[in-house]
Amino acid sequence: MRIKMLELLSGAEQASGTAVVIDVFRACSVACYAFAGGVTRILPVDTVEEAHALKAAHPDWLLAGERHCLKLPGFDFGNSPSEIQAADLAGKTLVHATSAGTRGLYAAMASAERVLTCAFTNVTATARALFAAAPETVSIVAMGKAGVSHAPEDKLCAMYLANLLQGVPNAFEAIPNFLRNAPTAEIFFGETAIVPEEDFDLCLNLDAFDFYLEAERLSDGRPALVRKTLPPDAAPATA
């Protein structure tokens, strides 16, 4: 298995083989909590306008997302795992628009053969899915802040996944404390907080979920993120 380590929207555009899009704060974490809460599918979109158009055509669908980390006008939820966790999502379709994660998924689908999303919340399940499929190339894309600047949480999650795939030991214990003081975590704490503080811990809830998430194309060509689970004996957690 050849592993390519990529970053940002520009890296997502270069993805090949099986791509794994990582956005820890917060899109890929939100997706995990949404599926755990019972959504049937998530429709990632590239633009806010597309999200509003889907809502107009399907009033029963729910909108979640952000620009500049803030909940968008007319949306049901921000890009917040704590908001999603508290909601009744059973049987719902969720349209998801974010600055980095969903846009990165779109970019990767243009060039990669297969696209998964990943965060710390389902990193081991994602590794198991990759082992089971044994692709020749895995492109791990750390999406970063708004897809244009580096984010340590995404790089650390990308390295954690790569280590699992290569049989290299990981030490997660130090990561939450390190990230608490990172510039990208300022949105959660103190005078700079603009999103719920509890989102930080929810995004760093290691292996909270035993499923992986994969983007599949619908009949109209639109991507849909779906939840998948491997049998317990299907693949190891590490190489």
Q: Please give the radius of gyration of the chain, using alpha carbons only, rounded to the nearest integer.
A: 16
pLDDT tens readout for residues 126-177: 999 999 999 999 999 999 999 999 999 999 999 999 999 999 999 999 999 9
Residue in 67, 98, 108 with CA at minimum distance from that of residue 223: 108
Query: Residue 236's pLDDT is what?
Result: 72
Residue 238 has pLDDT above 70, yes or no: no
Query: Residue 96's pLDDT is what?
Result: 98
Question: pTM, whole model, 2 decimals?
Answer: 0.96
Confidence of residue 237 (pLDDT cuts 50, 70, 90): low
Separation CA 59–CA 73 (nearest Å): 15
* Domain ranges across the chain: 2-222
Please report the DSSP string for 179-219 in residue order: HHTSGGGTTTSGGG--S-THHHHHHT-TT--S-EEEEEE-T
Residue 2 has pLDDT above 80, yes or no: yes
Q: What is the CATH number of domain 2-222?
A: 3.90.1560.10
> What b/e sequence results for 77-102 when a residue is b if at least 16 CB atoms lie within 10 Å of its CB, and e otherwise?
bbbbbbbbbebebeebbbbbbbbbbb
Query: Residue 233's pLDDT is what?
Result: 74
Query: Residue 67's pLDDT is what?
Result: 97
> What tokens does 140 get?
């791990």
* Phi, psi angle pair for 41, to nearest 5°: -160, 160
Question: What is the rounded average pLDDT of the residues 70-97?
Answer: 97
Confidence of residue 46 (pLDDT cuts 50, 70, 90): very high
Question: What is the rounded average pLDDT of the residues 116-126?
Answer: 98
